[in-house]
Amino acid sequence: MNLTPLPAFQDNYLWLLDDGNRALVVDPGDARPVQAALQSAGLQLEAILVTHHHPDHIGGVDALRDATGAKVWGPARETIPEPVTRLAEGDRIEVLGLPFTVIDVPGHTSGHIAYYCDLFDGRPLLFCGDTLFSGGCGRLFEGTPAQMLASLDKLAALPADTRVVCTHEYTLSNLKFALAVEPHNAELIHYSERCTELRAQDRPTLPSSIGQELRINPFLRTREAGIRQAAQAFNGTDPADDVAVFAAVREWKNTFR
């Protein structure tokens, strides 16, 4: 099985997963790079998995469905180009012979879902859309901090070796902020150096893993004493209030340059 990031727009990745003959694509915001990849590798597109309704995630859905007849799966509670088979928490689907379980992760949008496969080349795999990024998380366009914290808690509870397949290459700017929050996190300093090297060679920093993110991502670490204190120093938030600390760190990131 191959898992390939197709760069699109400024910083999106359209993830293609294939077995040499058949393929699935996640969040195809643009049909063209997907069609080019299918043609050059001689792949048949069987399925399109959509995590949420933003244009950079669904812009290519109609063109790809029309061109290939691929089946489209998407969130139960969002507006996605029809026909789409709608999914919510706990639903199980099989694509390319792989079993995926759906996880509701509201926050970035109110109906955002993630796709989790516990059996992919010996390690679990998570397609998390714009919910979890390496070193960061999605902006709260529709959901509340409490919803996003609960969503990230669900993802954080997945096995540490789960590959985290995110849809944007935001890692370096996320890590710049993460270092402002936790300047003494040695693992974060090391990871940041590695990612800087990868980007200098124009290579993706993704996929990450749940274990890696637990060590470096401030949005999965808001219960750490150092981050509670940093949030309090930022805007006087109550360091004992989990949701308030998460909200403060999210707000801090929104204004960080």
Taking the least distance from each CB to Zn ion, the nearer of 46 and 130 is 130
- Which of 10, 39 has the CB closer to Fe ion? 10
**Catalytic member of 27, 53, 104, 168:** 168
Residue 172 in tokens:
């370096």
Helix/strand/coil (H/E/C) assignment for every residue in 202-252: CCCCCCEEHHHHHHHCHHHCCCCHHHHHHHHHHHCCCCCCHHHHHHHHHHH
Pairing of strands 163-166, 208-209: antiparallel
Which parts of this chain interact with Fe ion (CB under 5 A)? Answer: 56, 130
Based on the residue annotation, tell me whether 52 is a catalytic residue of this protein: yes
Whether 184 is a known active-site residue: answer no
- Residue 139: CB minimum distance to Zn ion, A: 8
Identity of the residue, 64 or 137, whose beta carbon is nearer to Zn ion in the bound complex: 137
Are 188 and 182 a contacting pair, CB within 8 Å? yes
Give the Cα separation of 177 and 107 in Å (integer): 20
Nearest to 114 by CA among 173, 81, 61, 158: 158
Taking CB within 5 to 8 Å according to partner kind, which of Zn ion, Fe ion, none is near residue 27?
Answer: none
| C-alpha dist (Å) from residue 65 to 101, 215, 225, 252 | 23, 39, 48, 40
CA-CA distance, 206 to 223, in Å (whole number)?
25
Size of the site for Zn ion (CB under 5 A): 2
Q: Residue 4 corresponds to which amino acid?
A: T
- Give the shortest CB-140-to-Zn ion separation in angstroms: 11
Determine, following the binding rule CB under 5 A, whether residue 27 of this chain makes contact with Zn ion.
Answer: no
Figure out which of the listed residues 130, 169, 182, 213 binds Zn ion, where binding follows CB under 5 A: 130
- For the CB of residue 54, give the shortest distance to Fe ion in the complex, in Å: 5
Specify whether 56 is catalytic: yes
Q: Find the shortest distance in angstroms from Cβ 183 to Fe ion.
A: 29
Tell me if residue 192 falls in helix, strand or coil: helix
Answer yes or no whether residue 54 interacts with Zn ion by CB under 5 A. yes
Decide whether 104 or 130 has the Cβ nearer to Fe ion: 130
Is 57 a known active-site residue?
Answer: yes
What residue ranges bind Zn ion (CB under 5 A)?
Answer: 54, 130
Active site (catalytic) residues: 52, 54, 56-57, 108, 130, 168
